[in-house]
Structure 1
């Protein structure tokens, strides 16, 4: 559980769920998480070149959100994130489940780098 501050995981394996609490931030690079990732009110989330063996739910984040070259074994849902001028970025991911985005400001983008989604893409993420 990430309760406060800024937590980084590089070349790591994390077994069990990862929860990021309000005001905390998480960065992963080349990391495997065996369980769900859930954030509520996080200061920021960066998941890069990582594998998530479970669903990803990011809600009410107040700063940057990036999922880049991530493989998830479950749905990905972004909701009610207000990230100022930092557009939530979802690019070059493989999502083995649905991708849904609702109520995010600004609307998520893939910067023209397609995601592979094995499920429906809905709402703000319909074109990603």
Structure 2
């Protein structure tokens, strides 16, 4: 059985929009509309940008900028998320290491993918 997309009504800056979306995506669409509405209200309150179209473009640019910054932090070799994941991986490997077999604990980084160690570089968050 194929589900028909549903029509969801969202409100942004006192204007109502009907948007088609899949049932499982409705919460994300509502959250996106709230985020956009909030950003647009903040921009409008500054009084520096006039006109709904211009406010929408500035809000979209700000959100896109935030997304790019998050992607950079997440995927960059020196990104905070990768550094933190690596630290957590080391802590988990040490916690799981057999205390009677201390020689193998430092080799956790050189284990092959078929072994049971965690490798954050292969995981997606």
Structures share fold, TM-score greater than 0.5: no
Which of the five TM-score ranges fits, normalised by the shorter chain? Answer: under 0.3
Q: Which structure ranks higher in relative contact order (CA pairs < 8 Å, sequence separation ≥ 6)? A: 1
Question: Relative to total residues, which structure has the larger strand share, 1 or 2?
Answer: 1
Question: Relative to total residues, which structure has the larger helix share, 1 or 2?
Answer: 2
Structure with higher Rg: it is: 2
Superposition TM-score, scaled by structure 2 size:
0.19
Superposition TM-score, scaled by structure 1 size:
0.18
